[in-house]
Amino acid sequence: MNEDSRAQALVAAARAGDARSLARMVSLAENGSAQLRPVMRAVAPYAGQAAIVGLTGSPGVGKSTVTGALLRAYRAAGLRVAVLAVDPTSPFSGGALLGDRVRMQDHATDPGVFIRSMATRGHLGGLSVAAPQALRILDAAGFDVICVETVGVGQAEVEIASLADTTLVILAPGLGDSIQAAKAGILESAPARRAPDLAEGLGRAGAAQARPGTGGDLGDRRRRDQAAARRAARRGAPGRPGGPGGGRRAGSVLGRLRANRDLTDRRQGGSSASKVPD
């Protein structure tokens, strides 16, 4: 069996619900394996359908807690959900405590949820260098929603905005003022009007935690054009068969996520598709 055949077998197993095959493909991406290229060729026809939700913010503001609440809401709606949780690598020891999943243990045995932790391995921007490939693999595996939780970030670490369809910035109450909110940087990456859709199911307390920063209309046009191009490239891929269950509620929740993505593209005036590199 050649490399392409092995890659196609892995993808088929992952799409059939084999968590080990899916985890193995993500590991190939994380390790920069020579086997990654045939895997990325194999997943390309199936990618482009999942709604990608990015969660970012400073250390300790509750990103994992909000991610867990979103998991409950999406699963209650019948959606299959994957979580890519990125944790920092120590600059001293080179190790990483992959602890974000600790707050998501309620979903550890749920067959409709796949949680993968990943270390930054020195990469700046809030994500791992392998995150784009890992997202395409999870997308091709048939998940309806992919939640991406970044490491604790500062003002200028906005890489998630170029990958996610919807970005949620989680803030600690009472920090900063209107001048701080108007500054360029992370607060621009999540327009406040997106908060209600994502906070649905969290309740008032969860919605308050999940309220993103204002000033979303002041954004960096180049970065947003790149994000729109990535979304257009993903939507250009063939569709995949529908997942199990869901019904009206699943269609409603997923429809709102996709409508939010389409609204963002229209506000940006559209953008031509570009090829996402392997």
Which residue, among 111, 115, 77, has the nearest Cα to 200 in the 3D structure? 77
Nearest-Å Rg of the Cα atoms of the chain is 18
Give the 3-state secondary structure of residue 24: helix
Q: What is the pLDDT of residues 59-105, one digit of tens each?
A: 888 888 889 889 999 999 999 999 999 988 887 777 777 666 677 77
The pLDDT, as a whole number, for residue 259 is 67
Q: Quote the pTM value.
A: 0.70
Domain ranges in the chain are 47-267
CATH number of 47-267: 3.40.50
The strand order across the sheet containing 145-152 reads: 113-119, 81-87, 145-152, 51-57, 166-170
- Summary mean pLDDT of the chain: 75
DSSP state letters, 30-60:
HHT-TTHHHHHHHHGGG-S-SEEEEEEESTT
- Cα-based distances in Å from 34 to 27, 39, 131: 12, 10, 17
